[in-house]
């Protein structure tokens, strides 16, 4: 087994904890004090326009041979994720599981005029989205062959600088089908590790409380006779949960973390596997109902490679334009904190080395420093990039930079090895970019801010609907596959009628609501399509129940890979100025049924609604 050196990074001190706000030259101690943006107005985070955040051209900001691996004993394959209207929101694959309400006279008349069967159309099994059945789901491939529903800064429920940290953040995303969650751990004042967003005003929570929440909500439960209680957990499914561990704690509290995880998670936790002995990644089926830790690689104590630690923990060099920008693989927290410290003109101090017992828990997801200074082809030739269990993590901005240099090599790497990409550190409002830009490059773990229902989360919902958080990559994206075939699409959608459309705001009145339907197609191919080929909309009507009977046609759409091509329906309220979003749905092209169908609508916050859209679909992929 060839081992790479140990890579450590600088970390921030935890006492006193301070909040660094771009544009403000002061630091504000927040531990032990109740500080909010309103009580300390000079530290309130500034608004951030898209012009203030640099992006590369292909990524636009959103507006809205080794021994066989250890294999756990498996009794049966995982089940699909299911969601219930009263308990879940969209974003992680929370497909509607109840019958649609088609009692509206407008809908009834429209269905009769198209010779439809209202009873049949109301069934979830006959909706526009053809959800997979347990028999259709293939869980047997290695982890790297799947797109995995992933969350960024999971503990936050709102803004990245002053949003609340809570265990509810973990409950929320796990029950919505998320299978990769993030925990940022720091030294706690009482010797107990804590979770929070470093150098911000976010409140800390106990690491042990987070672990307990994960244990409770990670998987479908079968230990209760209360059917209503059981139903709340169906959305989680049984696919393995990956813990993206961002550790800023020192050695003593790292040992406490190991003790807590082993005690709280018990048999759920994958452990006693040596990272150096992993020759291939296990499948989701082999890891059914297990918790897999993603942690930074530290070699065994006796390994002389550990001597390289000191050479890598030196402070970053200052350039004429500020701190030198790293193009290496950074952990999520490191990258964000570096951005925060740069904006506040503060130096980010050194980070403690991860102890071997903690690193060892990351046997199947071993985080490694990306060898960006390698003069050759680091993604496909460097020894680190050939380790079966390595994971590279990049911010969207760093990924874009790498992609300019190594476009084809990144795609080749991602056929067989894991990669995680997370939002740029200055997305303070918890916005997201377009995840298709990363899925089409084979990135498995596209971490999104689940705190906001925007285009990114809508597309995430489209990809993972009914999938239990794991989607097998399409042909061409897995090891040994020939290059993917990009096709063309002809799509006709007749927008017929709608009922029970949720209003944009609870104070809005139905009589002044003027809805129109906008349809957008999101394709993975780099071949440019005209705006007319990808977008279309109906005329505006009035009321929460209305009929359109308008056809929207999309001809010759290029760059199509059906599994990562999406059709997004949005219902807007026509107004002066910005047309508010009222409701939406997002469908994967390979799951889109033809004929007369019902589209179940989510409200503008991602909640399940009673809103339905009646459409007639014809498609041709060639």
* Both structure tokens of 38: 């309103």
Q: What percent of the residues of the chain are helix, what percent strand, and what percent coil, each to the nearest 5?
A: 25, 25, 50
Residue 95 half-sphere exposure toward CB, CA atoms < 13 A: 28
SS (H, E, C) 501-566: CCCCCCCCCHHHCCEEEEEEEECCCCCCCCHHHHEEECCCCCCCCEEEEEEEEEEEEEEECHHHCE
Catalytic pick among 96, 197, 413, 522: 197
Residue 507, C-beta contacts closer than 8 angstroms, at least 6 positions apart: none
Say if residues 359 and 294 touch (Cβ distance below 8 Å): no
Residue 489 near residue 565, CB atoms below 8 Å: yes
**Pairwise CA distance, residues 106 & 291, whole Å:** 49
**CA–CA separation, 504 vs 507, rounded Å?**
9
- Nearest alpha carbon to residue 595 among 194, 108, 120, 66: 120
DSSP 8-state class, residue 453: -
Rounded Cα–Cα distance for residues 530 and 516 (Å)? 22
Which region holds residue 234: left if phi is over 0, alpha if psi is between -120 and 50, else beta?
Answer: alpha
Would residue 185 be called left, alpha or beta, if left means φ above 0 and alpha means ψ between -120 and 50 degrees? beta
Q: Phi first, then psi: what are they for 146, rounded to 5°?
A: -125, 145
As given in the structure block, the two tokens for residue 538 are 């109906």
Q: To the nearest 10°, the Cα dihedral for 313, 21, 152, 155?
A: 110
Annotated active-site residue 96? The verdict is no
d(CA 205, CA 197): 10
Sign of CA dihedral 354, 357, 360, 361: negative
Helix (H, G, I), strand (E, B) or coil at 43: helix
CB neighbours of 47 closer than 8 A, spacing ≥ 6? none
User: CA-CA distance, 302 to 356, in Å (whole number)?
Assistant: 11
Cα gap 436→432, rounded to integer Å: 11
CB 303 within 8 A of CB 356: no
Whole-angstrom distance, CA of residue 587 vs CA of residue 597:
12
Per the structure block, which two tokens stand in for 327? 């193009």
| Distance (Å, whole) CA 239 – CA 444 | 15
Catalytic residue among 83, 88, 96, 152: 152
Spatial CB neighbours of 325, under 8 Å, sequence gap ≥ 6: none
Q: Is 152 a catalytic residue?
A: yes
CA dihedral 72, 75, 77, 80 (to 10 degrees): -110
For residue 599, list its beta bridge partners. 613
Which residues are designated catalytic?
Answer: 152, 197
């Amino acid at each position: 087994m060839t081992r790479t050196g140990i890579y450590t990074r600088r970390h921030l001190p935890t006492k006193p904890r301070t909040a660094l706000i771009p544009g403000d030259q002061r630091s504000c101690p927040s531990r032990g004090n109740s500080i909010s943006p309103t009580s300390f107005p000079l530290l309130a985070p500034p608004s951030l326009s898209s012009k203030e955040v640099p992006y590369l051209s292909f990524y636009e900001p959103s507006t809205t041979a080794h021994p066989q691996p250890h294999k756990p004993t498996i009794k049966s394959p995982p089940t699909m994720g299911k969601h219930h209207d009263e308990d879940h929101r969209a974003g992680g694959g929370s497909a509607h599981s109840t019958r649609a309400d088609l009692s509206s006279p407008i809908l009834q008349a429209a269905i009769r005029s198209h010779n439809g069967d209202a009873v049949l159309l109301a069934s979830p099994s006959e909706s526009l989205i053809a959800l997979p059945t347990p028999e259709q789901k293939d869980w047997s491939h290695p982890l790297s062959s799947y797109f995995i529903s992933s969350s960024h800064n999971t503990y936050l429920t709102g803004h990245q600088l002053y949003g609340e940290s809570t265990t509810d953040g973990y409950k929320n995303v796990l029950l919505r089908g998320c299978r990769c969650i993030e925990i940022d751990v720091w030294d706690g004042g009482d010797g107990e590790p804590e979770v929070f967003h470093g150098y911000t005003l976010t409140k800390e929570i106990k690491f042990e409380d987070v672990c307990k929440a994960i244990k409770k909500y990670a998987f479908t439960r079968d230990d209760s006779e209360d059917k209503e209680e059981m139903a709340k957990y169906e959305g989680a499914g049984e696919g393995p949960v990956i813990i993206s561990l961002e550790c800023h704690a020192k050695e003593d509290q790292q040992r406490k973390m190991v003790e807590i995880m082993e005690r709280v998670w018990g048999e759920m936790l994958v452990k006693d596997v040596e990272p150096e002995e992993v020759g291939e990644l296990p499948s989701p089926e082999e890891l059914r109902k297990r918790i897999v830790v993603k942690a930074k690689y530290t070699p065994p104590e006796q390994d002389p490679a550990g001597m390289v630690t000191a050479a890598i923990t030196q402070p970053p060099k200052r350039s004429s334009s500020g701190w030198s920008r790293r193009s290496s693989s950074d952990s999520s927290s490191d990258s964000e904190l570096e951005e925060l410290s740069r904006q506040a003109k503060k130096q980010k101090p050194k980070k403690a080395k991860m102890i071997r017992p903690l690193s060892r828990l990351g046997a199947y997801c071993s985080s490694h420093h990306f060898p960006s200074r390698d003069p050759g082809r680091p993604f496909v030739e460097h020894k680190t990039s050939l380790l079966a269990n390595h994971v590279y993590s990049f911010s969207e901005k760093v990924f874009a930079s790498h992609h300019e240099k190594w476009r084809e090599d990144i795609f080749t790497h991602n056929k067989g090895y894991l990669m995680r990409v997370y939002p740029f550190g200055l997305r303070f409002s918890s916005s997201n970019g377009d995840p298709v830009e990363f899925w089409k490059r084979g990135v498995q773990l596209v971490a999104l801010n689940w705190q906001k229902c925007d285009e990114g989360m809508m597309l995430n919902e489209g990809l993972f609907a009914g999938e239990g958080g794991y989607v097998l990559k399409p042909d061409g994206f897995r090891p040994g596959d020939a290059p993917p075939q990009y096709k063309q699409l002809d799509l006709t959608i007749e927008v017929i009628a709608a009922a029970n459309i949720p209003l944009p705001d609870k104070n809005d009145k139905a009589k002044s609501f003027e809805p129109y339907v906008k349809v957008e197609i999101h394709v993975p191919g780099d071949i440019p399509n005209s705006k007319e080929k990808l977008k279309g909309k109906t005329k505006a009507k009035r009321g929460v129940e209305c009929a359109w009977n308008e056809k929207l046609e999309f001809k010759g759409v290029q760059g199509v890979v059906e599994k990562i091509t999406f059709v997004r329906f949005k219902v807007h309220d026509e107004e002066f100025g910005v047309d508010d979003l009222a409701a939406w749905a997002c469908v994967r092209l390979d799951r889109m049924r033809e004929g007369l169908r019902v589209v179940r609508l989510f409200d503008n916050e991602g909640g399940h609604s009673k809103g339905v859209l009646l459409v007639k679909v014809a498609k041709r992929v060639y």
